[in-house]
Structure 1
Amino acid sequence: MHLELDGRRIHSGIKQGTNLALFPASISVEGEFDVAPNFDYTVVFLDPIVASDAGCHFNRPLIAFGNEDLQRGLSVLCREARNADSLYGLFAEGWAMQALALLARVDGSQPATIRQCGGLAPGSLRRVIDYIEADLSRPFTIKGLAQVAGVSPRHFMRAFRESAGQTPLRFVYGLRLERAKEFLLDPRRTATEVALDCGFSHAQHFSTAFKKATGVTPSDFRRAATR
């Protein structure tokens, strides 16, 4: 590959197994890749703000490297992206966190301590939670939840994590699963109805997510709970 990164020229060979590159999203990239017709090369841009919120510093590219775990996770992420729903952000966030952890290890450093921001004001946090719980079937975005809290999206991400101990999207995911458990206790509700009412795109997606989180399928959970 022959690249110019923010005006700096880089020439690098590409081998099978080292066909992944990570760039800060703010970097300017120009150049070309000279590869065989059947060779796959993946380029990923990570938002430096996401890295900063995770306590990592990502300001330089990592080119022509390989990691089987990241590649497998990226395949899953790409598959999810084809039918992206309200949970897609969780998959993307999880992959990004894994990549950032790898970057910290490659640099020989540990993630920096996250700067404390004081969390959300109790009233703002309660308002956000009430808004989410009012209708879990709808999609949620960081921008929309930040508007409910009355703060900027960037501040909301940091403050919510400090207040709730997890990211907003993971919090929503947890609420959906808990609400699904409640709905499964009602024999009048079908699995599809439970899935849609809890914000999952379809019954199969719900079943897969539920089993991954609880170790049992929704039908097995229902049978065990109604014995």
Structure 2
Amino acid sequence: MPPRSKNHSVRWEYHQEHAASFGRQVPELIMLGFDRFQEASPLYDHRHERCYEFVYVENGKVTWEVEDGVYPSHTGQFFHTRPGEWHRARLNFIEPCSIWWMIVISPSERRDWLGFADEDRQRMQASLACLPRIVSADVRVREQFLKLRGLLAQGTEADAFRVRHYVLDLLLHLLYPPVARQIPVDLHEAVLALTGAIEAEPARRWANKELAAKAGVSESHFYRLFQDLHGQSPANYIDRLRMNRACELLRQPGANVTNVAMDLGYKTSQHFATVFKKYIGVSPTQWRASPD
């Protein structure tokens, strides 16, 4: 993960290299950390040799790029990368969010990985190799991260077996996630259809009341459905769509910040610039002048 920047409001980090003798008791766990980003912050290309990285989105939405693929993740989801894969936040900026991240040596790299017998270690390696890039998780995962953080911050060598337990528990949660709360098929399809309409017209001034009426539910019910499906409010979702479109428009020859703001439905260029910097991390003018 990136070094601390001025846009961090909270960061906690455990690194095996700085953990003295305690870290040597659980060599499989290379790093564990928590970040809360108030604004979009830089997160450039990086990779972890011999290691998997797992990122749990506690709050917000993060879009990742892994080599040639783009993977959006939101509240309650895990994203992961495999050993040696180059990855970054989309457009080199991580959006405002809260995340937990864990870097673990691949089971293929240690014959005594987390104390597994060889057959079980190979089975775990095969399972991780087939793991989907994005996995939905239960909210109780946060409690497991907090317990692990407490042990790493204040535990002793005698607690090493508990650290291994929590690391394994998190990995098993990824491999065998709980069944998500079901949304009726008709409502699920209705909200997805409305999402498509929003994506087709991001500049339109969509109102929750209008969207709820189209779905045939109350405004509060629609808000909850949208939040469950996308991990964020309709307003935040629309702003992010607009900012992605703004990034494309600003790179076009002769692009004008004010015109782009008006085209995307903002009443003033000042409001547009404020929202743009929140999500992208730089001003529209800086983005337009930066190299591709």
Question: TM-score of the superposition, structure 2-length normalised?
Answer: 0.35
Query: TM-score if structure 1 supplies the norm length?
Result: 0.44
Higher fraction of strand: 2
Question: RCO (CA 8 Å, sep 6+): is it higher in 1 or 2?
Answer: 2
